[in-house]
Structure 1
Amino acid sequence: MVRFFRQVLPRAAIVLAFATAAALAAPPTHTGTDGTGAASDQQEGEPQSDAAHPDAVVRSGLPVPRFVTLRSNELNVRTGPGVRYPVEWVFVKAGMPVEITAEFDTWRRIRDVEGTQGWVHQSTLSGRRGIIVTGQQTRTLRRDAASASEAVAQLDPGVIAKLRKCKGPWCQVDVGGFRGWLQRDEVWGVYPKEEVGE
Protein backbone atom coordinates (compact mmCIF):
# COMPACT_ATOMS: atom_id res chain seq x y z
CA MET A 1 0.00 0.00 0.00
CA VAL A 2 1.20 3.51 -0.77
CA ARG A 3 2.23 5.56 2.26
CA PHE A 4 1.55 9.27 2.47
CA PHE A 5 3.47 10.09 5.60
CA ARG A 6 6.97 10.68 6.89
CA GLN A 7 8.03 9.26 10.21
CA VAL A 8 9.96 11.63 12.45
CA LEU A 9 12.57 9.73 14.46
CA PRO A 10 13.21 11.47 17.78
CA ARG A 11 17.03 11.56 18.01
CA ALA A 12 18.43 11.40 14.53
CA ALA A 13 15.60 13.46 13.03
CA ILE A 14 15.68 11.17 10.02
CA VAL A 15 12.64 11.47 7.80
CA LEU A 16 11.30 8.53 5.84
CA ALA A 17 8.91 9.19 2.99
CA PHE A 18 6.99 6.63 0.97
CA ALA A 19 4.90 7.54 -2.10
CA THR A 20 4.36 6.56 -5.69
CA ALA A 21 3.93 8.78 -8.69
CA ALA A 22 0.63 7.12 -9.57
CA ALA A 23 -0.91 8.29 -6.33
CA LEU A 24 0.42 11.83 -6.51
CA ALA A 25 -2.27 13.22 -8.79
CA ALA A 26 -3.27 16.81 -8.14
CA PRO A 27 -5.08 16.92 -4.79
CA PRO A 28 -8.61 18.33 -4.60
CA THR A 29 -9.11 21.87 -3.34
CA HIS A 30 -11.49 22.13 -0.46
CA THR A 31 -13.01 24.22 2.26
CA GLY A 32 -13.69 22.24 5.37
CA THR A 33 -16.50 21.96 7.85
CA ASP A 34 -14.42 20.76 10.80
CA GLY A 35 -12.54 24.01 11.41
CA THR A 36 -10.97 26.96 9.65
CA GLY A 37 -7.48 27.88 8.53
CA ALA A 38 -4.75 25.81 6.92
CA ALA A 39 -2.01 25.80 9.55
CA SER A 40 -0.36 22.49 10.31
CA ASP A 41 -0.64 23.04 14.09
CA GLN A 42 -2.49 25.36 16.45
CA GLN A 43 -1.76 26.15 20.09
CA GLU A 44 -5.32 26.95 21.12
CA GLY A 45 -7.35 24.33 22.88
CA GLU A 46 -4.32 22.57 24.30
CA PRO A 47 -5.09 20.36 27.31
CA GLN A 48 -4.40 22.06 30.65
CA SER A 49 -2.26 19.21 31.98
CA ASP A 50 0.02 16.50 30.76
CA ALA A 51 -2.25 13.83 32.21
CA ALA A 52 -3.02 10.86 29.99
CA HIS A 53 -5.42 11.94 27.28
CA PRO A 54 -8.87 10.34 27.07
CA ASP A 55 -9.69 7.64 24.56
CA ALA A 56 -12.75 9.48 23.25
CA VAL A 57 -13.99 12.84 24.51
CA VAL A 58 -16.55 14.14 22.06
CA ARG A 59 -16.73 17.96 21.83
CA SER A 60 -17.99 18.78 18.34
CA GLY A 61 -21.32 16.98 18.56
CA LEU A 62 -20.45 15.12 15.35
CA PRO A 63 -20.36 11.32 15.30
CA VAL A 64 -17.20 9.51 16.32
CA PRO A 65 -15.82 7.67 14.47
CA ARG A 66 -16.25 9.50 11.14
CA PHE A 67 -14.27 10.04 7.96
CA VAL A 68 -12.75 13.37 6.89
CA THR A 69 -9.85 14.41 4.64
CA LEU A 70 -6.54 16.17 5.17
CA ARG A 71 -6.62 19.87 4.32
CA SER A 72 -2.94 20.44 3.54
CA ASN A 73 0.06 18.72 1.97
CA GLU A 74 2.04 18.78 5.21
CA LEU A 75 0.33 17.95 8.46
CA ASN A 76 2.01 17.26 11.80
CA VAL A 77 0.63 14.19 13.59
CA ARG A 78 1.40 14.25 17.32
CA THR A 79 1.47 11.64 20.06
CA GLY A 80 -1.16 13.54 22.07
CA PRO A 81 -3.75 16.34 21.78
CA GLY A 82 -1.58 19.46 22.00
CA VAL A 83 1.56 21.14 20.68
CA ARG A 84 3.49 20.03 23.78
CA TYR A 85 3.33 16.47 22.44
CA PRO A 86 6.06 15.48 19.96
CA VAL A 87 5.43 15.13 16.24
CA GLU A 88 5.57 11.44 15.37
CA TRP A 89 4.47 11.55 11.73
CA VAL A 90 4.03 14.11 8.98
CA PHE A 91 1.26 13.34 6.51
CA VAL A 92 2.11 14.68 3.06
CA LYS A 93 -1.00 14.38 0.90
CA ALA A 94 -3.94 16.81 0.89
CA GLY A 95 -7.28 15.16 0.21
CA MET A 96 -6.27 11.86 1.81
CA PRO A 97 -9.11 10.31 3.83
CA VAL A 98 -8.58 9.64 7.52
CA GLU A 99 -10.90 8.42 10.25
CA ILE A 100 -11.49 10.51 13.37
CA THR A 101 -11.48 8.07 16.28
CA ALA A 102 -11.53 10.52 19.22
CA GLU A 103 -11.85 14.22 20.04
CA PHE A 104 -10.27 16.34 22.77
CA ASP A 105 -11.21 20.02 22.70
CA THR A 106 -9.96 21.25 19.28
CA TRP A 107 -7.79 18.18 18.68
CA ARG A 108 -8.73 15.06 16.75
CA ARG A 109 -7.19 11.62 16.92
CA ILE A 110 -7.03 10.25 13.38
CA ARG A 111 -6.25 6.90 11.78
CA ASP A 112 -5.17 6.30 8.19
CA VAL A 113 -5.82 3.35 5.88
CA GLU A 114 -2.86 1.44 7.33
CA GLY A 115 -3.88 2.00 10.94
CA THR A 116 -1.33 4.73 11.72
CA GLN A 117 -2.80 6.94 14.48
CA GLY A 118 -2.05 10.29 16.04
CA TRP A 119 -3.46 13.67 17.01
CA VAL A 120 -3.96 16.72 14.78
CA HIS A 121 -5.64 20.10 15.20
CA GLN A 122 -9.18 20.28 13.81
CA SER A 123 -8.22 23.13 11.46
CA THR A 124 -5.99 20.76 9.49
CA LEU A 125 -8.97 18.59 8.54
CA SER A 126 -11.75 19.07 6.01
CA GLY A 127 -15.31 17.77 6.15
CA ARG A 128 -15.07 16.95 2.44
CA ARG A 129 -14.97 13.23 1.76
CA GLY A 130 -12.41 11.20 -0.12
CA ILE A 131 -11.43 7.58 -0.69
CA ILE A 132 -8.27 5.56 -1.31
CA VAL A 133 -8.33 2.70 -3.79
CA THR A 134 -7.42 -0.51 -1.94
CA GLY A 135 -6.24 -3.97 -2.88
CA GLN A 136 -3.28 -5.26 -4.88
CA GLN A 137 -4.64 -4.79 -8.40
CA THR A 138 -6.05 -2.00 -10.54
CA ARG A 139 -9.72 -1.19 -10.11
CA THR A 140 -12.13 -0.30 -12.90
CA LEU A 141 -13.90 3.05 -12.66
CA ARG A 142 -17.28 2.53 -14.38
CA ARG A 143 -19.64 5.02 -16.02
CA ASP A 144 -22.67 3.70 -14.11
CA ALA A 145 -23.19 1.77 -10.88
CA ALA A 146 -23.15 -1.67 -12.50
CA SER A 147 -20.49 -4.30 -13.15
CA ALA A 148 -21.42 -4.45 -16.84
CA SER A 149 -21.17 -0.67 -17.28
CA GLU A 150 -18.56 0.87 -19.58
CA ALA A 151 -15.08 1.36 -18.10
CA VAL A 152 -14.06 4.99 -17.67
CA ALA A 153 -10.56 4.50 -16.23
CA GLN A 154 -8.29 2.05 -14.44
CA LEU A 155 -7.15 3.12 -10.97
CA ASP A 156 -4.07 1.78 -9.22
CA PRO A 157 -4.07 0.89 -5.53
CA GLY A 158 -3.32 3.97 -3.42
CA VAL A 159 -4.98 6.46 -5.76
CA ILE A 160 -6.95 9.13 -3.89
CA ALA A 161 -10.30 10.32 -5.23
CA LYS A 162 -13.00 12.76 -4.16
CA LEU A 163 -16.07 10.93 -2.89
CA ARG A 164 -19.36 12.26 -4.28
CA LYS A 165 -21.95 9.73 -3.11
CA CYS A 166 -22.58 6.08 -2.31
CA LYS A 167 -25.65 3.99 -3.00
CA GLY A 168 -25.76 0.35 -2.08
CA PRO A 169 -22.50 -1.39 -3.01
CA TRP A 170 -21.33 1.46 -5.30
CA CYS A 171 -19.64 4.83 -4.72
CA GLN A 172 -19.32 7.67 -7.23
CA VAL A 173 -15.94 9.45 -7.26
CA ASP A 174 -14.05 12.15 -9.12
CA VAL A 175 -10.39 11.54 -9.92
CA GLY A 176 -7.98 13.02 -12.46
CA GLY A 177 -10.75 14.62 -14.52
CA PHE A 178 -12.84 11.43 -14.59
CA ARG A 179 -16.12 10.71 -12.83
CA GLY A 180 -17.40 7.20 -12.31
CA TRP A 181 -18.37 4.42 -9.94
CA LEU A 182 -16.26 2.04 -7.87
CA GLN A 183 -17.48 -0.81 -5.74
CA ARG A 184 -17.60 0.13 -2.09
CA ASP A 185 -15.41 -2.82 -1.09
CA GLU A 186 -12.64 -1.58 -3.44
CA VAL A 187 -12.06 1.62 -1.45
CA TRP A 188 -11.28 2.87 2.06
CA GLY A 189 -12.89 6.02 3.44
CA VAL A 190 -16.55 5.05 3.70
CA TYR A 191 -18.33 2.68 6.08
CA PRO A 192 -20.00 -0.50 4.77
CA LYS A 193 -23.60 0.71 5.10
CA GLU A 194 -23.00 4.46 5.23
CA GLU A 195 -25.21 6.68 3.08
CA VAL A 196 -23.20 9.45 1.43
CA GLY A 197 -24.78 12.19 -0.67
CA GLU A 198 -23.37 14.98 -2.79
Structure 2
Amino acid sequence: MNNQAAKLAIVLSFSCISVLVNTGIANHHVLAQSPQQQKCDIFAYVVSKDPQGLNVRSGASPTHKILGQIAANETVKITAASGKWVQVTDVTGDFKGTGWVYLPMLGISSRGYGTNGVNLYTNADQQSQKVGRIPPSTSVKLLGCQGEWAQVEYQGIKGWLASEDQCGAALTSCS
Protein backbone atom coordinates (compact mmCIF):
# COMPACT_ATOMS: atom_id res chain seq x y z
CA MET A 1 0.00 0.00 0.00
CA ASN A 2 2.83 2.44 0.85
CA ASN A 3 4.39 1.76 -2.57
CA GLN A 4 1.19 2.83 -4.33
CA ALA A 5 0.97 6.01 -2.21
CA ALA A 6 4.56 6.91 -3.06
CA LYS A 7 3.90 6.38 -6.77
CA LEU A 8 0.77 8.51 -6.58
CA ALA A 9 2.68 11.31 -4.82
CA ILE A 10 5.38 11.24 -7.50
CA VAL A 11 2.82 11.32 -10.33
CA LEU A 12 0.99 14.22 -8.69
CA SER A 13 4.24 16.13 -8.19
CA PHE A 14 5.22 15.75 -11.84
CA SER A 15 1.70 16.71 -12.91
CA CYS A 16 1.86 19.91 -10.87
CA ILE A 17 5.28 20.79 -12.27
CA SER A 18 4.01 20.14 -15.79
CA VAL A 19 1.01 22.42 -15.24
CA LEU A 20 3.22 25.19 -13.83
CA VAL A 21 5.65 25.03 -16.74
CA ASN A 22 3.08 24.62 -19.53
CA THR A 23 0.77 27.38 -18.30
CA GLY A 24 3.60 29.86 -17.77
CA ILE A 25 2.93 30.19 -14.04
CA ALA A 26 6.56 29.30 -13.33
CA ASN A 27 7.65 32.20 -15.58
CA HIS A 28 5.58 34.67 -13.54
CA HIS A 29 7.63 33.81 -10.48
CA VAL A 30 10.85 34.51 -12.39
CA LEU A 31 9.45 37.76 -13.81
CA ALA A 32 8.39 38.92 -10.35
CA GLN A 33 12.00 38.94 -9.16
CA SER A 34 13.66 42.35 -9.19
CA PRO A 35 15.29 43.24 -12.51
CA GLN A 36 19.04 43.25 -12.83
CA GLN A 37 20.68 46.63 -12.37
CA GLN A 38 22.06 48.27 -15.55
CA LYS A 39 24.96 50.76 -15.39
CA CYS A 40 24.24 54.15 -16.99
CA ASP A 41 26.03 57.43 -17.55
CA ILE A 42 23.54 59.96 -18.92
CA PHE A 43 21.89 63.23 -17.86
CA ALA A 44 18.15 63.87 -17.75
CA TYR A 45 15.77 66.42 -16.25
CA VAL A 46 12.76 66.19 -13.97
CA VAL A 47 9.41 66.46 -15.78
CA SER A 48 7.22 65.79 -12.72
CA LYS A 49 4.63 68.54 -12.20
CA ASP A 50 4.21 67.78 -8.48
CA PRO A 51 4.71 71.12 -6.66
CA GLN A 52 6.52 69.27 -3.84
CA GLY A 53 8.97 67.80 -6.34
CA LEU A 54 9.99 64.32 -7.41
CA ASN A 55 10.59 61.93 -4.49
CA VAL A 56 14.10 60.51 -4.22
CA ARG A 57 14.10 57.14 -2.47
CA SER A 58 16.69 54.94 -0.79
CA GLY A 59 15.96 52.05 -3.18
CA ALA A 60 14.31 51.16 -6.47
CA SER A 61 10.66 50.97 -5.37
CA PRO A 62 7.91 53.17 -3.91
CA THR A 63 8.22 51.33 -0.59
CA HIS A 64 11.74 52.61 0.11
CA LYS A 65 12.35 55.59 2.39
CA ILE A 66 12.05 59.09 0.87
CA LEU A 67 15.41 60.87 1.11
CA GLY A 68 14.26 64.18 -0.36
CA GLN A 69 12.71 65.82 -3.41
CA ILE A 70 13.97 67.26 -6.69
CA ALA A 71 12.13 70.20 -8.28
CA ALA A 72 10.82 70.20 -11.86
CA ASN A 73 13.37 70.99 -14.59
CA GLU A 74 16.38 70.18 -12.38
CA THR A 75 19.11 68.15 -14.08
CA VAL A 76 20.23 64.78 -12.68
CA LYS A 77 22.94 62.31 -13.63
CA ILE A 78 21.63 58.75 -14.04
CA THR A 79 24.18 56.16 -12.92
CA ALA A 80 22.09 52.97 -12.89
CA ALA A 81 18.71 51.58 -13.91
CA SER A 82 16.59 48.81 -12.43
CA GLY A 83 13.26 48.31 -14.18
CA LYS A 84 11.30 51.58 -14.08
CA TRP A 85 13.64 53.08 -11.48
CA VAL A 86 16.95 54.91 -11.96
CA GLN A 87 19.69 55.88 -9.55
CA VAL A 88 20.50 59.60 -9.70
CA THR A 89 23.25 61.83 -8.36
CA ASP A 90 24.77 65.25 -9.14
CA VAL A 91 21.41 67.02 -8.92
CA THR A 92 21.49 70.71 -9.87
CA GLY A 93 18.97 71.71 -7.17
CA ASP A 94 18.72 71.38 -3.40
CA PHE A 95 18.93 67.58 -3.11
CA LYS A 96 22.46 66.40 -2.49
CA GLY A 97 23.52 62.77 -2.51
CA THR A 98 22.42 59.67 -4.38
CA GLY A 99 19.01 58.03 -4.54
CA TRP A 100 16.42 56.37 -6.75
CA VAL A 101 13.61 58.03 -8.73
CA TYR A 102 10.77 56.76 -10.89
CA LEU A 103 11.99 56.83 -14.52
CA PRO A 104 8.77 58.14 -16.17
CA MET A 105 9.23 61.36 -14.17
CA LEU A 106 12.43 62.18 -16.09
CA GLY A 107 12.88 63.51 -19.60
CA ILE A 108 15.58 64.12 -22.17
CA SER A 109 15.85 66.15 -25.38
CA SER A 110 17.70 65.78 -28.65
CA ARG A 111 20.61 67.92 -29.83
CA GLY A 112 21.38 68.20 -33.54
CA TYR A 113 21.28 71.99 -33.77
CA GLY A 114 21.92 73.30 -37.26
CA THR A 115 21.11 69.86 -38.76
CA ASN A 116 17.99 68.01 -39.86
CA GLY A 117 17.98 66.07 -36.56
CA VAL A 118 19.61 63.08 -34.92
CA ASN A 119 19.37 59.35 -35.56
CA LEU A 120 17.46 56.86 -33.48
CA TYR A 121 18.96 53.33 -33.50
CA THR A 122 17.52 49.83 -32.90
CA ASN A 123 20.32 49.05 -30.40
CA ALA A 124 22.77 50.98 -28.24
CA ASP A 125 25.26 50.92 -31.10
CA GLN A 126 25.74 53.34 -34.02
CA GLN A 127 26.38 50.35 -36.28
CA SER A 128 22.82 49.11 -35.68
CA GLN A 129 19.89 49.94 -37.94
CA LYS A 130 18.50 53.49 -37.89
CA VAL A 131 14.79 53.46 -37.05
CA GLY A 132 14.08 57.17 -37.29
CA ARG A 133 15.18 60.77 -36.84
CA ILE A 134 14.39 63.20 -34.07
CA PRO A 135 14.32 66.91 -34.93
CA PRO A 136 16.84 69.15 -33.12
CA SER A 137 15.95 70.34 -29.61
CA THR A 138 12.97 68.00 -29.27
CA SER A 139 11.78 66.53 -25.96
CA VAL A 140 11.40 62.75 -26.05
CA LYS A 141 10.13 60.16 -23.58
CA LEU A 142 12.97 58.54 -21.64
CA LEU A 143 12.50 54.74 -21.36
CA GLY A 144 15.85 53.57 -20.01
CA CYS A 145 19.59 53.68 -20.41
CA GLN A 146 22.63 51.54 -21.06
CA GLY A 147 26.05 53.06 -20.55
CA GLU A 148 26.04 56.43 -22.33
CA TRP A 149 23.00 55.54 -24.47
CA ALA A 150 19.44 56.66 -23.74
CA GLN A 151 16.48 54.49 -24.73
CA VAL A 152 13.72 56.87 -25.85
CA GLU A 153 10.39 57.05 -27.62
CA TYR A 154 9.54 59.70 -30.21
CA GLN A 155 6.18 59.72 -32.03
CA GLY A 156 5.61 56.06 -31.14
CA ILE A 157 9.04 54.94 -32.34
CA LYS A 158 11.28 53.39 -29.69
CA GLY A 159 15.03 53.39 -30.11
CA TRP A 160 18.41 54.39 -28.77
CA LEU A 161 19.90 57.89 -28.76
CA ALA A 162 23.72 58.25 -28.79
CA SER A 163 25.36 60.31 -26.03
CA GLU A 164 26.43 63.13 -28.37
CA ASP A 165 22.80 63.52 -29.47
CA GLN A 166 21.33 63.84 -25.95
CA CYS A 167 20.50 66.99 -23.98
CA GLY A 168 19.73 66.34 -20.33
CA ALA A 169 18.95 69.96 -19.42
CA ALA A 170 15.37 71.24 -19.52
CA LEU A 171 16.00 74.97 -19.67
CA THR A 172 19.02 75.19 -22.02
CA SER A 173 19.81 73.98 -25.51
CA CYS A 174 22.97 72.02 -24.50
CA SER A 175 24.82 73.64 -27.39
Tell me if TM exceeds 0.5. Answer: no
TM class by shorter chain equals 0.3 to 0.5
More helix by share: 2
Higher-Rg member (1/2): 2
